[in-house]
Amino acid sequence: MPSDARAHGAEPGSQNGHSRSLFHRLGPLILPNRLPPPVNPALMKHAEERAEHAQNRAADKITAFSGSMVFVYIHIIWFGCWIGFGVEKYPFGLLTMIVSLEAIFLSTFVMISQNRADAKRQVIADAQWKTVQEEDKQNEELLELSRKILKLTTEVRAFGGRVEETLALTKEVHSRSSGAGAGKPS
């Protein structure tokens, strides 16, 4: 493959980088979306706690599958075959009952998913609240340190003024004693 084709991300054996395998083109349409793992430590802990129970793992997998395009494709094929092969005569009473039961269960899984999302939001809100509380405490400590620094600076300036006064008086005393000693006969 020419070096300029590699630089543009072309796959080996493709022309101008436009040819991709069928799986790579259709994979995102067929496979359920996979969310990246959480980065927030509070969410990671929450996910680990949820994964400890088989019911939660099953609900998460069912929710991920039922919210995917694979689920839609299976139903399209299923309904098409049911009607096309004449499994049942119109008005499709058995199919209607099966789909109704499925809808009942799927609505339950939707509620489970919403509860899970609410739990995640609560975990994030709790973690943010703790962070805000810690930052408030740190801000109070910084303010207290700033007050102490201001007080020390004021004391040092006052001490510096006294030192200057003492030096000035010492010079004056020294100059008077030197001047008085120069006029006396030895």
Distance of CA 85 to the CA centre of its chain: 50
d(CA 133, CA 127): 10
Describe the chain by its helix, strand, coil percentages, rounded to 5: 75, 0, 25
pTM greater than 0.85: no
- Give residue 18's pLDDT: 55
- Cβ contact 72:32 at 8 Å: no
What digits encode the pLDDT tens for the residues 129-185?
A: 889 999 999 999 999 999 999 999 988 888 877 888 888 888 888 888 876 655 555
Q: What's the half-sphere exposure (Cβ side, CA atoms, 13 Å) at 63?
A: 19
* ∠ Cα 22 25 27 (to 5°): 90
Amino acid at site 177: S
In Å, how far are 47, 145, 176 from 181, measured between CA atoms? 91, 53, 8
What digits encode the pLDDT tens for the residues 85-131?
A: 999 998 899 999 999 999 999 899 888 888 888 888 888 888 888 89
